[in-house]
């Protein structure tokens, strides 16, 4: 020691600075909240959305008397087991470390778009309990082991599935991983998983203590699971089952408007009101009607469990499958982050997702004519893929898709007919010069 002492005020400021710089389980989230733009599928108001014609059948499949269950809480009876999802808040200076994907590597992100490869995993997660879903430290391999990390300074969400530290190989491994810039509505490429079976982000769909007991209303939907599923619909991108009669991944339940909430405690009413306004989104297979929330020792499950169980499947209805705010207009809406083209009189929505061994991301879209546009990936002056969607209804009753590229990186081109919801995807593998697309039978959906 040099004999010098910090003044109390300076010591307090130093402690505040150190806390702000640390990685923290359940730490601060970047504003504005809720996470993602206000028009993101997690945040849109569905109170006036149409009911799906098959709603009653889907509810019956689950079981009309099946009750909800809060899949979250505090500490379990056996240390270090916990209930609910853990999320880690890290500063922008948190070093990125490589992750080896051992299950779904071809559907995983090496890192964030435009940034170096790697995930900002704090070293404490290797040996410290309660930093990963389930509560066991990073060396454990049991369970789903979701790891949710928010870079609060750069506003990027990193999510991993089956995350664990392989001591024998001195590396982080995971089944799959996905990265979501919180400033955009970047959807997974069609057919890709994420850290969740539906291909969705997990964190924005959690019930969080700070929201439930905060002053503002909850302004997003919640994530939930079903025992069986059948395919997927928007906003999901990935299947997790094919059981006839079951809900698809991405389907949304909505608590019926007439359900009386007056007898519940204020915090429960707030959660249930969000189910009326924003609904519940099918995100994974699991127990029926388990609603996912964040791990927090302040939850009172003696209140939550009976309250949730009092709501039955019959209290809900299924929103029209694949519904979007602009659904039914047959018009593509340009994205705020310039990641999609609207072609052929605005009917077709086109997106490109690129991936290399060092990173991945969404192509930036530039419209040239009503039928044609291009995407750039790394530099605005470097054209990567050119796309045309042509109305050939007068020739062969089809819409045609043409594409050409000046790249050899992995690219998935996704073209969506906004009137019918039909989606076509075109893949170019890593390391192969882009193969031209000449699909003259792409969409048999002529008006």
Q: Per-residue DSSP letters for 196-244?
A: STTS--SGGGSB-HHHHTSSSPP-S-EEEEES--BSB-TT------B-T
Average pLDDT over residues 423-429: 88
Q: Is the pLDDT of residue 330 over 80?
A: no
pLDDT score recorded for residue 90:
97
Q: Is the pLDDT of residue 14 over 70?
A: no
- How far, CA to CA in Å, does 144 sit from each of 108, 134, 136, 167? 16, 8, 11, 19
Q: Are 303 and 227 in contact (CB under 8 A)?
A: no
Average pLDDT over the chain, rounded to whole? Answer: 91
Nearest to 312 by CA among 289, 293, 291: 289
Average pLDDT over residues 230-244: 95
pLDDT tens digits, 278-329: 999 999 999 999 999 999 999 999 999 999 999 999 999 999 999 987 644 4
- How far, CA to CA in Å, does 23 sit from each of 117, 138, 153, 290, 398? 19, 15, 12, 29, 54
Dist CA 197 CA 133 (whole Å): 16
Residue 14, class by beta-carbon neighbours within 10 Å (0-12 exposed, 13-18 middle, 19+ buried)? exposed
Residue found under tokens 């087991």: 81
* Residue 430 backbone dihedrals phi, psi, to 5 degrees: -60, 135
Dist CA 193 CA 238 (whole Å): 5
DSSP tag of 288? T
Average pLDDT over residues 145-152: 98
Q: What is the pTM for the complete model shown?
A: 0.76
Dist CA 136 CA 359 (whole Å): 29
Q: What b-and-e string marks burial along 246-280, b requiring 16 or more CB atoms within 10 Å of the CB?
A: bbbbbbbbbbeeeeeeeebeebbebbbbbbbbbbb
Band of residue 19 on the pLDDT scale cut at 50, 70, 90: very low
Q: With helix as H, strand as E and coil as C, how does 102-152 read?
A: CCCHHHCCCECCCCCECECCCHHHHCCCCCCCCCCCCCCCCCCCCEEEEEC
Backbone φ/ψ region at 114: left (φ over 0), alpha (ψ -120 to 50), beta: left
Q: Is the pLDDT of residue 10 over 90?
A: no
Band of residue 331 on the pLDDT scale cut at 50, 70, 90: low
pLDDT score recorded for residue 131:
97
Q: What six digits make up the tokens of 45?
A: 């108001």
Q: Provide the 3-class DSSP secondary structure of residue 181.
A: strand
């Amino acid at each position: 020691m040099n004999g010098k002492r910090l003044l109390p005020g300076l010591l307090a400021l130093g402690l505040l600075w150190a806390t702000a710089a640390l990685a923290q389980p359940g730490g601060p989230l970047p504003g504005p909240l809720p996470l993602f733009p206000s028009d993101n599928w997690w945040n849109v108001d569905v109170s006036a959305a149409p009911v799906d014609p098959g709603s009653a059948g889907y509810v019956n499949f689950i079981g009309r008397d099946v009750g909800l269950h809060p899949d979250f809480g505090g500490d379990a009876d056996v240390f270090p087991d916990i209930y609910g999802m853990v999320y880690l808040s890290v500063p922008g200076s948190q070093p990125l470390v490589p992750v080896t994907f051992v299950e779904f590597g071809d559907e995983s992100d090496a890192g964030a778009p435009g940034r170096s490869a790697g995930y900002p995993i704090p070293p404490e997660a290797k040996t410290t309990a309660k930093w990963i879903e389930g509560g066991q430290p990073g060396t454990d391999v049991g369970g789903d082991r979701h790891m949710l990390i928010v870079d609060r300074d750069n506003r990027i969400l990193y999510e991993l599935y089956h995350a664990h530290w392989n001591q024998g190989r001195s590396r982080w491994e995971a089944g799959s991983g996905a990265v979501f810039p919180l400033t955009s509505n970047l959807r997974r490429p069609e057919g890709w998983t994420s850290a969740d079976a539906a291909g969705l982000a997990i964190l924005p769909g959690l019930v969080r203590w700070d929201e439930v007991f905060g002053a503002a209303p909850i302004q997003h939907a919640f994530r939930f699971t079903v025992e069986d599923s059948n395919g997927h619909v928007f906003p999901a991108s990935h299947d997790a089952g094919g059981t006839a009669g079951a809900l698809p991944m991405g389907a949304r339940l909505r608590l019926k408007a007439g359900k009386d909430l007056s007898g519940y405690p204020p915090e429960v009413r707030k959660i249930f009101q969000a189910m009326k306004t924003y609904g519940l989104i099918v995100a994974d297979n699991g127990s029926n009607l388990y609603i996912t929330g964040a791990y927090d020792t302040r939850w009172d499950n003696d209140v939550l469990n009976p309250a949730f169980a009092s709501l039955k499947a019959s209290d809900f209805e299924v929103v029209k499958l694949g519904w979007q705010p602009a659904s039914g207009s047959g018009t593509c809406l340009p994205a705020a982050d310039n990641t999609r083209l609207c072609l052929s009189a605005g009917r077709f929505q086109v997106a490109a997702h690129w991936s290399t061994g060092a990173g991945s991301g969404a192509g930036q879209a530039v419209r040239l004519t009503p039928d044609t546009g291009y995407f750039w990936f790394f530099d605005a002056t470097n054209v990567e893929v050119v796309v045309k969607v042509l109305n050939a209804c007068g020739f062969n009753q089809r819409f045609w898709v043409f594409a050409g590229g000046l790249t050899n990186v992995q690219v998935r081109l996704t073209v969506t007919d906004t009137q019918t919801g039909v989606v076509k995807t075109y893949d170019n593998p890593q390391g192969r010069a882009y193969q031209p697309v000449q699909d003259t039978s792409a969409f048999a959906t002529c008006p």
